[in-house]
């Protein structure tokens, strides 16, 4: 009898722990790799829009800074650090450009804390990788001229959906 009670208590505790982990990961990861892999959680447009609105002020600071750059191909990744943009040119090779605006450095740092990875400007668009998985990248994209990005530039894009603010899109790519 005592063994049955112990088994039932342990089983109840294990189930409770699994439920707590499930809900915590959905809340904390907000659609990230862990929740998708462990729980096959797919983020929907409402969740994407919610994250976008929560992060909009930070995204806008970084997007406007990168859009005003004279360089059309620049990026920032966690390996570069928040204070630098990486640029590659055929003439000069690899170069790092210091970000002189402290508001931009602070915004990039805050975006990292919220789960954003690589930020890239490629010609007319700036992409913010937010939900990477094993086979896909998903995130938020800003069109500098606010038009729908030319899909020929983004051969690997599966999805490109407009968000609530003009010139902003959700993207998925392979």
**What pLDDT is attached to residue 39?**
42
**What pLDDT is attached to residue 30?**
46
**What pLDDT is attached to residue 106?**
96
For 120-157, write each residue's pLDDT tens digit. Answer: 998 889 999 998 877 778 899 999 988 777 655 555 66
Mean pLDDT for 84-88 is: 83
Residue with structure tokens 């990788």? 129
Per-chain mean pLDDT for the chain: 80
Q: What is the largest CA-CA distance in the chain?
A: 79
CB-count burial class (<10 Å; 0-12, 13-18, 19+) for 94: exposed
Both tokens of residue 113?
């804390």
Question: Is the pLDDT assigned to residue 163 strictly greater than 90?
Answer: yes
Question: Is the pLDDT assigned to residue 33 strictly greater than 50?
Answer: no
**What pLDDT is attached to residue 22?**
62
What is the pTM assigned to this prediction?
A: 0.73
CA distances from 125 to 4, 81, 134, 149, 153 (A): 62, 21, 24, 7, 10
**What pLDDT is attached to residue 123?**
86
Question: Is the pLDDT assigned to residue 96 strictly greater than 80?
Answer: yes
Beta-carbon-side half-sphere exposure of residue 83 (alpha carbons within 13 Å): 3
- Separation of alpha carbons 167 and 109, rounded Å: 23
């Amino acid at each position: 009898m005592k063994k049955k009670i112990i088994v039932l208590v342990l089983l109840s505790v294990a189930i409770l722990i699994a439920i707590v982990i499930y809900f915590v990961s959905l809340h904390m990861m907000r659609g990230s790799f862990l929740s998708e892999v462990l729980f096959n959680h797919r983020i929907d447009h409402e969740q994407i829009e919610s994250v976008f609105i929560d992060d909009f002020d930070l995204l806008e600071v970084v997007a406007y800074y990168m859009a005003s750059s004279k360089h059309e191909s620049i990026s920032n990744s966690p390996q570069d650090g928040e204070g630098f943009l990486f640029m590659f040119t055929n003439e000069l090779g690899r170069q790092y450009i210091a970000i002189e605006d402290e508001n931009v450095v602070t915004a990039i740092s805050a975006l990292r804390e919220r789960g954003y990875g690589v930020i890239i400007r490629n010609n007319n668009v700036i992409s913010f990788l937010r939900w990477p998985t094993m086979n896909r990248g998903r995130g938020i994209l800003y069109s500098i001229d606010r038009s729908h990005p030319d899909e020929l530039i983004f051969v690997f894009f599966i999805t490109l959906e407009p968000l609530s603010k003009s010139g902003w899109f959700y993207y998925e790519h392979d």
